[in-house]
Amino acid sequence: MVKPSDFRATVRRGRRSATPSTLIYRVDRAADEPARFGFIVAKTVGNAVERNLVRRRMRAVCRSIVDAGGSGADVVVRALPGSAQRSWASLSAEMHAILDPALIR
């Protein structure tokens, strides 16, 4: 997702799921359309290096979901302040636990 209006619509109308390090908002779309992802990583997460690290990790998880056949939704992932201290394995496991059943059909 790129447009601010898409982010706003997904956050306002989307179903919210929470993990210890992220909030995930999801709005369903047509099943044949690929999943679209957007990321919100605020300054409360850490300095610029930490924020970019978190964003790259979240993007990699979402890319693996799309490669596995994820489709039919707009998803916005908001990083919470503790997400920069999470390991790659725990962040990946948390996001897969919520996103895999919802997007891979």
pLDDT of 7 strictly over 70: yes
In 1-105, alpha helices (H): 4-13, 48-67, 88-103
Instruction: Identify the pLDDT of residue 5.
Output: 92
Would the pLDDT of 12 be above 90? yes
Contact indicator for 64, 102 with CB cutoff of 8 Å: no
pLDDT band for 76, please (50, 70, 90 cuts): very high
Average pLDDT over residues 67-73: 82
In the predicted model, is pLDDT for residue 73 greater than 90?
A: no
Cβ contact 22:78 at 8 Å: yes
Enter the pTM of the model. Answer: 0.86
**Cα(26)–Cα(7) distance, rounded to whole angstroms?**
10
**Surface-to-core class of residue 76, CB atoms within 10 Å of its CB (0-12 exposed, 13-18 middle, 19+ buried):** buried
